[in-house]
Chain A
Amino acid sequence: MRIIVLIKHVPDTWEERVLDPATGRLDRSASERVVDEITERALEAALALKDSDKSIEVVALTMGPGESTGAIKKALSMGADSGIHLVDDALAGADAMTTAATIAAALRDAGADLIIAGNESTDGRGGMLPAMLAEHLGLPALTFISDLVVEGGRVRGERATETATSVVSAALPAVVSITEGMPEPRFPSFKGIMGAKKKPVASHSLADLGLAADATPRAASVVLSCEPRPGRTGAEPIVDDGSAGQRLADYLAQQRLV
């Protein structure tokens, strides 16, 4: 079985993340890039399956600029067998439609039995790419699932929406997106880090994927404006001297909040 895990390099959520006001795009120089934790969990899900069946091959795929090779290296050092990097200058600032079309083109002939992604990235927060890929590829999608079992050629998981919690399943091949309910990712071992250097990484441009730079989807999302909003400043906190509960009640009443 071949599992392709979609990983994403994102600005570190521990730092202040900065948009370029002129373009509304990420200011790449402003913050450190890390592998989005939810995509590390997606990789963990694949590696956990591989732990119990060594014949499973795990491939880490990312789309991003040159520096995103760092994300693939991390995935390889955690235990992925190989990497695929989709990289092309024409993809700078790609919207969801272009991203989905590009990744779908790379997946189309990649022979994946299972494609695992995070449910939503910490920078884009769209949470739609897995469904879009499934639509492009004509595959079922088990989205936002918080556990994952592969058995008898089917994948199954629990999916919580705002209105119901369901058990959902599909025959392989399928697209899956996982939530934070899935286990935390493992750390790369020393052996993993050393071994990662020898693992193959394929790099594909749009032309390699048979997509001309102008053959990306016609409809596109365009940023019109981008304004930073003033940060918040807190008031000096009071130290409880035995009356803080009372004082808080008074404050809430004054503010007409109770």
Chain B
Amino acid sequence: MTAALVHIELTADGAPTDAAAELLGAATVLGEPVAVITVAPGSDTAALVAALGRAGAARVVVAEAAEVGSVIATPQVSALAAAIDREQPSVVLLAHSVDGRDVAGRLAVRVGGALAWDAVGVTRDGDRVVAAHSVFGGAYATTSTIEGGLPIVTVRPGAIDARAAAVEAPAVERLTVEVSGAAATIESSTPVRPSGRPELRTAKVVVAGGRGLGSPEKFALVEQLADALGGAVGASRAAVDAGYIDHAAQVGQTGTTVAPDLYIALGISGAIQHKAGMQTAKTIVAINTDASAPIFEVADFGVVGDVFTVVPQLLDALQSRRSA
């Protein structure tokens, strides 16, 4: 079986990101899942290798590169290029994340591969790797393949449910990598602090607020409901632009695409660009004072009402249900 290389992104603490388990799960149907990690020379990788084994890596390529963490993308690109040279894989999988996209783009040019991006599924059809995509906010389902070169596929975080069986002690191969290519310098870096809430892209419940919340202080109502439901906090672009919340919370065309079991839109009109990021949610609830708001066109349960009266009542009702 040929190798399916999986690029593992690491958090500031040096642990694999949540994408690792999804990518390794996806890789098992394509070939032998081989994780590639890029670390500073001399790093202790025992815990990391064990974690990747639990996530299903049959083998782990540990690439040591001097510039890791101090420049953007090129250490990982050089590591993957070296791993490709050695493993002759049939596919390379990466997360469709900010760093993953930089690495994938450069890698495709460097090794003469081609790209399939933002895949929501991957399968093998004979010799071909087939990627499934959800286009224009879910209005189309398409599939694509790569011809004439190595498929380099980025996978949408949260889209893959398959998980690989744990591997007790994955074989480790060490590579020393010469980093090549001009790169931007990372001058300083602050890790994202965990919010204590689930990650927006993969959350089962998302509670999102829009301009209708009116101020950053009042936006707290969105967070309150999210916490009551154990969900993530989302927002419309107008709410982000108004400074109610950070851009990372933006759902839509130019924000995050989410497909939770439950999406609750509070004070969001439902502009087409917002819907593009959430209309594949299983159940959509909307609360809006304007009965003609387009969000109601996609809502399974809509309330024409004021979020500042409906949501507190909802919170009370949830509370008494819980204590009942």
Chain A residues in the interface with B (C-beta under 8 A) = 13-17, 19, 24, 37-38, 95-97, 100, 120, 122, 125-132, 134-136, 138-144, 146, 156, 159-170, 174, 179-181, 217-229, 231-240, 243-253, 255, 257-258
Contacts and interface: CB of A to CB of B under 8 A. Distances in A.
A166 B110 CA distance: 25
B304 A169 contact: no
Given A166-B186, A180-B254, A248-B301, A126 B106 contact: no
Contacts of A224: 130, 142-145
A210 to B, nearest CB: 18
A136 to B, nearest CB: 6
Contacts of B47: none
Given A135-B105, A168-B184, A232-B298, A248 B145 contact: no
Contacts of A181: 247
A17 B139 contact: yes
A50 to B, nearest CB: 23
B188 interface: yes
Given A232-B297, A248-B317, 8 more contacts: A126-B118, A162-B17, A219-B148, A229-B140, A235-B302, A237-B303, A240-B309, A244-B310
Interface in B33-78: 72-73, 77
A220 B304 CA distance: 49
A131 B105 contact: yes
A180 B256 CA distance: 13
18 contacts: A122-B253, A126-B101, A141-B184, A166-B189, A167-B187, A170-B185, A174-B184, A218-B112, A221-B116, A226-B141, A234-B299, A237-B302, A237-B303, A243-B313, A245-B311, A249-B321, A252-B285, A257-B262
Contacts of A134: 106, 182
Nearest to B297: A234
A212 B194 CA distance: 51
A84 B108 CA distance: 26
A166 B190 contact: yes
Most buried by B among A19, A222, A226, A245: A245
Contact of A228 (B73, B99, B139, B261): B139
Nearest to A256: B261
B258 to A, nearest CB: 14
Nearest to A170: B184
Contacts of A223: 142-144
A251 B91 CA distance: 45
A105 to B, nearest CB: 13
Contact of B304 (A17, A100, A139, A237): A237
Nearest to A249: B317
Contacts of B250: 180
A146 to B, nearest CB: 7
Contacts of A17: 136, 139
Contacts of B115: 95-97, 126, 128, 221
A163 B190 CA distance: 9
Nearest to B240: A180
A238 B302 contact: yes
Contacts of B28: none
B97 interface: yes
B73 A38 contact: no
B147 A219 contact: yes
Contacts of A128: 101-102, 104-105, 108, 115, 117
Interface string B116-156: 11100000000000100001101111111111111000000
Interface in B156-206: 157, 181-192, 205
A232 B272 CA distance: 13
Most buried by B among A127, A128, A131: A128
B1 interface: no
